[in-house]
Chains A and B, each alone.
Chain A
């Protein structure tokens, strides 16, 4: 990766220009892969916008353009670190902006503009460093030209090109640099030359986020912008038949009510008027003969399906004959609920439509599909839709919707209302609004040999597909298997390491909208797999750590994380009375995370005191950022493990706000210790991989404490 990179061969185009008083460095990269089957995205990819990753101002400012969205994960700092190192930039001069929605900013691996899959840092590791290196080369040449000296004798440091005792700031060189040919080759620095990469670095967005000036989608205001709240169907999939808005129109501040595909929208001067106006609406929904999901019913349906063969996701050997040689068999059923992402900032989206275009202000993780969807609704070309990405008050997958739900709806409202509007969701709208982590049921039957090692592994999953019915279906569903449903099972080292195995999937059809929730399929498969392994260790009468070590002996990255966590948590050493340990390790998004949870159970209440985390993510570009993401993942996953659940009663979502959709609070936050494995392996992600091992580590500790195996989440009052 540190080698000379031939830019022209890699498809870079010369495209440097002086715009708005600064040097813009631009290049394009070969696009591709994961999402390229997206029909609308292909259209969007014809946009001719310049591809600018960094801009140097005459005032020496360095503006880094983010191709991805900042939603808390820290890329507002990490991506500039990549550029700063190659550019020898003055860190205090760095500014950051979200890039517009344009083909130039598509994901280097996924082919659309997206922030997801814990992929920003690894997928930009070369592109952003190259942008920095290319710019530095140009500035050196510019200085050589200005001083009329050979470029070889010059060096760069902290925002200056230096020649002996002479120096020129980058801002002073911008004009000359913009007239130069882009170099054909750049040499990236060697790791030992890095000043920022690999060093704990403070966040660049911290100051604005503690004084109230950071702008989230929710904070977008401009003259003429009205607030809209939409009354949506209480039962998913039903349509608005009729409505009476006579009471609504009498409420001061209400401007009008319009019908949109998702329901009735109240347009008002402010949120309070819109909310009151919406409460006063009389709505009739077309619910007759419509499916009314009920969690108890769904559970029965899933249990019945799990007894039947589904679509095969993985197979090896012969389960039936291998099982005959078994000493014992462990069979278990695991159930995980629907979950809401509940990002702290309720969804919102501001839209202004004008004659020849549309502007959108929102916090989104998927600009390309949002842009394409808006364009389709308005009969525009994607490039006529401008997206101003704002800070996201949390994403966790909710703002990466291939169906562009909250953006499409806002566009429909603005179009019907014929005025600029910002749709605002209440918390109730968010909790009841769908796009949940799908409910999943796993049934596994594992035959063990005399030593307690798995001989045969039979595993069936039942749950809704996230991808089915989206534009990604063509690329992401193969042979009837949605890879995001079975990840962490079909590709598990335990399953694949068992000579005889079979993984089956039933993809259930339903009107309940589902979506990726922080760690996607791993959010359920990690729990099931690492709980099962604990069950097997117990059946084999072996220590859970020793048992894992044996099964993972050919998986060095799993082992490195596992051993580091166990070591730092003093696995096997005495604990205070009443405190017990549980362990889990899981790979997801290219990173390997092990966790040891220390737990006590008193009067049915689970208290998690401490969680020791070890992660191998390859190079940790910002170790402090990695640590923060591990802390964050523990909190997010622990709330879900202990209390969060979306359930259905007679077609309606039973929860509505944080009193009944309970998430982690300060009083339940354990002490979290994070250790990063020193690793030169391939880089993985950090936003999500800390989530999957948490619930099993806690549940395994609960088993150690109480002898009760948790096979259903949330733990709730199961121990009472």
Chain B
């Protein structure tokens, strides 16, 4: 199966129904995207499919054929993604860090659609991403910070 991952055409030997998460982690070896629940309940596995945030744990690779998969590993080259990462570091958001790839992918997608989100917008867009370390308050602050820097 041919998949476009972070701008590279990649040939992967996987079955059609394998979720994108396992194709990129276990087969392509890109481990920045995390597994947290496997049923679209936690957001740890969030990647972008043609720029849209999706839960890769429940999206089969067949749905990605002909589309572009973008993962956390490519966020440094993305204007919005980079701004989000910079804000994350400035606010010192991370704790254990395990959820943060997914948080950053969701936040980046939010800011692309809504460059000036208020707290309610953030709550609505980010409540699908669980952080067991409870970094939510800092995530909120960092999204505002990134929005300001991008404006």
Q: Interface residues, chain A, CB within 8 Å of chain B?
A: 70-74, 202-203, 205-216, 218-219, 221, 227, 252, 269-272, 275, 342-346, 391-396, 424, 426-427, 624, 628, 631-636, 657-659, 663-667, 669, 671-672
Contacts and interface: CB of A to CB of B under 8 A. Distances in A.
Interface in B130-151: 130-140
Contacts of A636: 132-134
Contact of B95 (A72, A269, A270): A72
B44 interface: yes
A427 B34 contact: no
A74 B95 CA distance: 7
B133 A632 contact: yes
Contacts of A658: 37, 39, 41-42, 130
B33 A666 contact: no
A343 B132 contact: yes
B92 A206 contact: yes
Given A392-B96, A395-B96, A658-B42, 9 more contacts: A72-B96, A206-B94, A210-B85, A210-B89, A227-B26, A252-B15, A635-B134, A666-B123, A669-B140
A592 B136 CA distance: 24
A666 B126 contact: yes
B139 to A, nearest CB: 7
Contacts of A269: 26
A665 B130 contact: yes
Contacts of B85: 210-211
B86 to A, nearest CB: 9
Contacts of B7: none
B134 A209 contact: no
A72 B132 CA distance: 10
B127 A271 contact: no
B132 A344 contact: yes
- Where chain B touches its partner, the secondary structure class is loop
B71 to A, nearest CB: 7
Identify the 5 closest CB pairs spanning chains A and B, nearest first: A212-B32, A635-B134, A393-B98, A209-B97, A72-B96
B98 A631 contact: no
B100 A210 contact: yes
Contacts of A218: 31, 34-35
Contacts of B64: none
Nearest to B101: A212
B144 to A, nearest CB: 13
A632 B39 contact: no
14 contacts: A70-B96, A72-B94, A205-B97, A206-B92, A210-B88, A216-B98, A219-B31, A272-B26, A344-B98, A393-B97, A427-B36, A636-B132, A657-B41, A669-B136
A387 B102 CA distance: 28
B38 interface: yes
Contacts of A624: 92
Contacts of A664: 134, 136
B62 to A, nearest CB: 13
Contact of A211 (B44, B72, B131, B137): B72
B15 A628 contact: no
A312 B119 CA distance: 51
Contacts of A212: 30-33, 71-73, 75, 101
Nearest to A216: B98
A391 B129 contact: no
A219 B131 CA distance: 18
B27 A342 contact: no
B80 interface: no
A345 B101 CA distance: 12
Interface string B25-55: 1110111111111110110100000000000
B123 A667 contact: yes
Nearest to A213: B32
Contacts of B127: 665-667
A633 B31 CA distance: 28
B95 A271 contact: no
A43 to B, nearest CB: 31
B149 to A, nearest CB: 15
A271 B92 contact: no
B5 interface: no
A528 B97 CA distance: 32
B118 interface: no
B136 A666 contact: yes
Contacts of A72: 94-97, 133
A398 to B, nearest CB: 10
Given A203-B94, A659-B39, A394 B29 contact: no
A346 B36 contact: yes
A384 to B, nearest CB: 28
Contact of B38 (A252, A427, A628, A634): A427
Nearest to A214: B97
Nearest to A628: B95
B104 interface: yes
Contacts of B19: 272
Contacts of A392: 96
Nearest to A426: B38
A212 B71 CA distance: 9
A218 B97 CA distance: 13
Nearest to B125: A666
B122 interface: yes
B92 A628 contact: yes
B76 interface: yes
Interface string B98-134: 1111001000000000000000001110111111111
A394 B26 contact: no
A657 B38 CA distance: 9
Given A211-B72, A658-B42, A206 B139 contact: no
B98 A345 contact: yes
A459 to B, nearest CB: 31
| A270, A344, A624: most-surrounded residue (chain B CB, <10 A) | A344
Given A210-B89, A218-B34, A667-B127, A271 B22 contact: yes
Contacts of B76: 211
B97 A427 contact: no
Contact of A271 (B26, B42, B101): B26
A70 B34 CA distance: 18
A391 B96 contact: yes
Contact of A393 (B34, B73, B122, B129): B34
Contacts of B32: 211-213
Nearest to B139: A666
Contacts of B92: 202-203, 206, 624, 628
B71 A344 contact: no
Contacts of B38: 275, 426-427, 657
Contact of B41 (A74, A202, A209, A659): A659
